[in-house]
């Protein structure tokens, strides 16, 4: 294992790293390591050559660049016209401390194909390491790609990830996220709609407790006419946890008659918890329909009173409300996802006795 070569770290002076914990990161603490990966259901579509680059033309930051240089890549090519009904499951375990791992998943869905992929990242709380995952999705003409990532990293594992998708004519790309883990877990998602009629839907459920921090950056980039994007991110923070959501809808000059929606809602469940939401719009053409909405607030007191007036104790009322808040996202996850296990994990995190400590 070679030590990671000296690299120039970004700083929080850059807008894109504002609010991040990048200043705490010491790359020299990590040597290059690997995740232990189990894959189920991919045999018929996994290819040996690397398809890296099908959706990512340039590296958006140093971490994507490092991933490009060191990646353990899984490449999936869904042949033209093939629809795979069962989900492909990819589970990555990080078993060692003081390593940085670079998993990369490339999904190349050819014309009129369909696939669902569920990718899970797991480590124990005792693991002090860094994961730098990259996802690339290319949805060719009329292809349908349904992807869910589940962050179940331990409380001392960092994540700095990047997701990039490119949607071609009349394709549908659905990118879903459930993030419960990580110490500092950042994900930057760039969805490009590059041909007419392409559509992308994104949903995320994130819930941080203890001293965790979740950091999401999303870009919905419309490059062709009549493209459609819809994003719903819902997060909660408790204890002294923090979360940041920064989203940009960018409608380029060529993207007339496009529709783009972005909604980010955050619940702060403790006095010391903090959530920030920064939605942005950049529209370079007329005749588009765009909206963005963002909220940060505590549990609605009217809702709580309603449930309490039926005889439900306050802590259970609050738990029901938070569950209800997340249900809107859970209902939109791929139908193959193990929703009950995710609900149990959320419930565990809601229990005040499970306050996480380092």
Partner 1 sequence: MSTLEIKGLRAEVAGKEILKGIDLTVKSGEVHAIMGPNGAGKSTLSAVIMGKPGYTVLGGSVTLDGVDMLAIPTWERAIAGLHLVMQYPTEVPGVHADQMLAEALTARQRGTDGMADRIASEAGRINFDAGLVSRALNVDLSGGEKKRNETMQLGVLEPKFAILDELDSGLDIDALRDCARRVEAATHESNLGVLAITHYVRLFEELKPDIVHIMVAGRIVSSGGPELADQLEIDGYAAFA
Q: How far apart, in whole angstroms, are the C-alpha atoms of residue 273 and residue 291?
A: 28
Burial class (CB in 10 A: 0-12, 13-18, 19+), 110: middle
Answer left, alpha or beta for residue 126, where phi above 0 means left and psi between -120 and 50 means alpha: alpha
Give yes or no for residue 305 binding partner 1 (CB under 8 A). yes
Residues 320, 339, 345, 356: which binds partner 1 (CB under 8 A)?
Answer: 320
Give yes or no for residue 326 binding partner 1 (CB under 8 A). yes
Helices and strands, counts by H and E, the chain: 4, 21
State the number of binding residues for partner 1 (CB under 8 A). 23
Count of CB atoms situated within 10 Å of the CB of 163: 23
Give yes or no for residue 58 binding partner 1 (CB under 8 A). no
Give yes or no for residue 323 binding partner 1 (CB under 8 A). yes
Residues 1, 49, 286, 310: which binds partner 1 (CB under 8 A)?
Answer: 310
- To partner 1, the closest distance from the beta carbon of 297 in angstroms equals 13
Residues 281, 303, 334, 345: which binds partner 1 (CB under 8 A)?
Answer: 303
Q: How far apart, in whole angstroms, are the C-alpha atoms of residue 126 and residue 1?
A: 22
Stretch that binds partner 1, among 110-118, 151-159, 315-323, 346-354 (CB under 8 A): 315-323
Pair of tokens at residue 178: 């459930």
Q: Which is nearer to partner 1, 36 or 306 (CB)?
A: 306
Q: Which is nearer to partner 1, 76 or 205 (CB)?
A: 205
Give yes or no for residue 325 binding partner 1 (CB under 8 A). yes
Residues 153, 307, 342, 346: which binds partner 1 (CB under 8 A)?
Answer: 307
* Sequence-ordered list of residues with C-beta below 8 angstroms from that of 263, at least 6 positions apart, any chain: 231, 232, 233, 292, 293, 294
Give yes or no for residue 111 binding partner 1 (CB under 8 A). no
Stretch that binds partner 1, among 203-211, 267-275, 309-317, 346-354 (CB under 8 A): 309-317
Burial class (CB in 10 A: 0-12, 13-18, 19+), 261: middle
- To partner 1, the closest distance from the beta carbon of 333 in angstroms equals 14
Give yes or no for residue 317 binding partner 1 (CB under 8 A). yes
Q: Are 142 and 173 in contact (CB under 8 A)?
A: no
Answer left, alpha or beta for residue 336, where phi above 0 means left and psi between -120 and 50 means alpha: alpha
* Chain residues in the site for partner 1 (CB under 8 A): 301-303, 305-314, 316-317, 320-321, 323-328
């Amino acid at each position: 294992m070679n030590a990671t070569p000296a690299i120039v770290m970004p700083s929080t002076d850059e807008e894109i790293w504002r609010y991040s914990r990048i200043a705490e990161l010491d790359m020299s603490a990590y040597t290059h390591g690997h995740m232990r990966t189990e894959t189920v259901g991919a045999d018929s579509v996994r290819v040996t050559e690397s398809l890296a680059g099908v959706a990512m033309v340039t590296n958006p930051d140093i971490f994507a660049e490092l991933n490009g240089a060191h990646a353990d890549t899984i490449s999936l090519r869904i042949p033209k016209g093939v629809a795979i009904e069962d989900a492909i499951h990819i589970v990555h375990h990080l078993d060692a401390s003081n390593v940085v791992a670079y998993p990369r998943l490339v999904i190349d869905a050819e014309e009129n194909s369909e696939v669902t992929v569920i990718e899970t990242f797991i480590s124990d709380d005792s693991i002090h390491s860094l994961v730098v995952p990259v996802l690339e999705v290319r949805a060719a003409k009329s292809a349908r790609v349904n992807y869910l990532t589940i962050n179940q990293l331990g409380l001392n594992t960092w994540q700095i990830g990047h997701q990039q998708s490119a949607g071609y004519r009349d394709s549908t790309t659905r990118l879903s996220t459930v993030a419960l883990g990580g110490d500092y877990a950042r994900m930057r998602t760039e969805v490009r709609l590059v041909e007419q009629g392409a559509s992308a839907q994104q949903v995320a459920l994130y819930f941080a407790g203890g001293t965790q921090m979740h950091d999401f950056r999303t870009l919905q980039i419309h490059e062709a006419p009549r493209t459609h994007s819809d994003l719903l991110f819902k997060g909660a923070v408790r204890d002294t946890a923090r979360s940041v959501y920064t989203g940009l809808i960018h409608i380029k000059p060529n993207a007339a008659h496009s529709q783009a929606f972005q909604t980010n809602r955050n619940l702060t469940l403790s006095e010391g918890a903090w959530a920030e939401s920064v939605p942005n719009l950049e529209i370079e053409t007329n005749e588009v329909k765009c909206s963005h909405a963002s909220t940060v607030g505590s549990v609605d007191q009217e809702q709580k009173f309603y449930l309490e007036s039926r005889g439900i104790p306050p802590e259970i009322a609050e738990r029901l409300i938070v569950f209800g808040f997340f249900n809107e996202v859970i209902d939109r996850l791929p139908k193959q996802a193990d929703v009950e296990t995710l609900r149990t994990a959320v419930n565990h995190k809601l229990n005040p006795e499970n306050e996480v400590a380092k």
